[in-house]
Chains A and B, each alone.
Chain A
Amino acid sequence: MSADERALAVEPSLTTAWGRTRLGAFLSQPISWVFLVVGGIIAFLSLYPTFFLFYGSLTDAPLGVPGHFTLQNYVKAYSDPEAYPLLLNSFIFGLGASGLSLVFALTLAWITIRTNAPFRRLFELTAIIPNILPPILVSISWVMLLNPSNGLINALFVKILGLEKGPFNIYSMPGLIFVESLILTPLAFLIVAAALKSMDPSLEESAKTLGSNEFGVMRRVTFPLIRPAILAAGTLNFVRAVESFDTPAIIALPARIEVFTTKIWREALGSFPTNHNLAAAYGVGILAVALVFVYLYRRFTSQVENFSTVTGKGFRPHQIDLGGWRYAATSVALLLLILLVVLPILVLLLVALLPYYHVPTWQTWQRLTLDHFRYVWATPRVHKAFINSLFLALVGATVCMILASLASYITVRTKIAARGVIEGLVFIPWAFPGTAMALGLLWAYVDFPIPIYATIWIILIAYVTRFLPYGLRAVSSTIIQVHKELEEASIVCGAGFMTTFRRVLMPMMRPGVMAGWIILVTIFLREFSATLFLYSPGSEPLGPLLYFLYLDGMRGRVAAIGLVISVISVILIAIAQRYSRWESK
Chain B
Amino acid sequence: MLKQTYFLSALFAAMILSAGPLYSQSASLIAAGKKEGKAVVYGSLESDTAETAFNAFKKKTGIEVDYWRASATKVMDRALSEYRAGKPLFDIILTNDNPMQIMFKEGLFAKYDSPSAKDFTKESIDPNLGPRYRNVVIGVVYNKDVIKPADAPKSLEDLVKPQYRGKLVMPDPTQHTTTTQWVASLDKLMGKEKADKFIRDLAAQKPILVESLLPAAERVATGETPIAITYVKYVYIFGQRGAPLDYLRLGKFMGDGHYLSLNSKAPHGNAGKVFIDYFLGAENMGMIAKLGEFVNRKGVYPPLPDADKIQFVEMYDLDSKKFAEKKKEYQQIFLH
Contact = CB atoms under 8 A, between A and B. Distances in A.
Interface of A: 62-65, 143-144, 147, 149-150, 249-250, 253-254, 256, 258, 262, 265-266, 270-276, 355-359, 367, 439, 442-443, 446-447, 453-454, 532-533, 535-538, 548-549, 551-555
Given A272-B98, A442-B81, A446-B87, A551 B214 contact: yes
B77 A65 contact: no
B222 A533 contact: no
Interface string B310-336: 000000001010011001000100010
Interface stretch (B4-12, B64-72, B183-191): B64-72
A62 B84 CA distance: 10
Given A149-B225, A553-B218, 14 more contacts: A65-B84, A149-B223, A270-B176, A272-B99, A272-B318, A273-B320, A357-B222, A359-B223, A446-B81, A536-B89, A552-B46, A552-B214, A553-B234, A553-B237
A468 B335 CA distance: 38
A453 B48 contact: no
Contacts of A535: 68
A258 B336 CA distance: 12
Contacts of A357: 218, 221-222
A136 to B, nearest CB: 10
Interface in B208-224: 208-211, 214-215, 217-218, 221-224
Contacts of A453: 87
Nearest to B167: A149
B233 to A, nearest CB: 10
A448 to B, nearest CB: 10
14 contacts: A150-B222, A150-B224, A253-B172, A253-B210, A256-B335, A272-B318, A276-B77, A356-B241, A357-B222, A439-B81, A442-B78, A442-B81, A446-B82, A446-B85
A275 B177 CA distance: 13
Contacts of A256: 209, 335
B66 to A, nearest CB: 4
A554 B99 CA distance: 25
B210 A266 contact: no
A272 B66 contact: no
A553 B213 CA distance: 10
Interface in B56-112: 66-71, 73-74, 76-78, 80-82, 84-87, 89, 98-99, 102
Nearest to B81: A442
A548 B224 CA distance: 24
A253 B208 CA distance: 8
A272 B81 contact: no
A262 B175 contact: yes
A266 B218 contact: no
A147 B209 contact: no
B280 interface: no
Contacts of A554: 47-48
Closest 7 CB pairs of A and B: A64-B84, A537-B66, A356-B241, A355-B241, A446-B85, A447-B85, A272-B177
From B208, B238, B323, B331, name the one whose CB has the most chain A CB atoms within 10 angstroms: B208
Nearest to B215: A250
A537 B223 contact: no
A271 B68 contact: no
Contacts of A249: 211
Contacts of A149: 223-225
A555 B218 contact: yes
A254 B241 CA distance: 26
Nearest to A445: B85
A62 B80 contact: yes
Contacts of B304: none
A272 B67 contact: no
A272 B73 contact: yes
A537 B42 CA distance: 9
A144 B242 contact: no
Nearest to B77: A274
A258 B174 CA distance: 12
B218 A254 contact: no
Contact of A359 (B47, B222, B318): B222
Contact of A548 (B69, B223, B237, B327): B69
A553 B102 contact: no
B209 A536 contact: no
Contact of A447 (B46, B87, B320): B87
Contacts of A65: 84
Given A147-B224, A254-B208, A552 B218 contact: no
A552 B47 contact: yes
A71 to B, nearest CB: 19
Given A272-B98, A442-B78, A537-B40, A552 B87 contact: no
A63 B81 contact: yes
A274 B324 CA distance: 11
B210 A254 contact: yes
A454 B88 CA distance: 11
From A63, A250, A256, name the one whose CB has the most chain B CB atoms within 10 angstroms: A256
B243 interface: yes
B161 to A, nearest CB: 19
Given A356-B221, A359-B223, A446-B81, A265 B238 contact: no
Interface in B160-180: 172, 174-177
A170 B229 CA distance: 22
A16 to B, nearest CB: 44
Contacts of A533: 74, 77-78, 81
Contact of B222 (A144, A532, A536): A144
A262 B175 CA distance: 9
Contacts of A532: 70, 74
Contact of A266 (B40, B66, B175, B222): B175
A552 B324 contact: no
Interface in B226-273: 234, 237-238, 241-243
A522 to B, nearest CB: 24
B242 A355 contact: yes
A447 B88 CA distance: 11
A447 B86 contact: yes
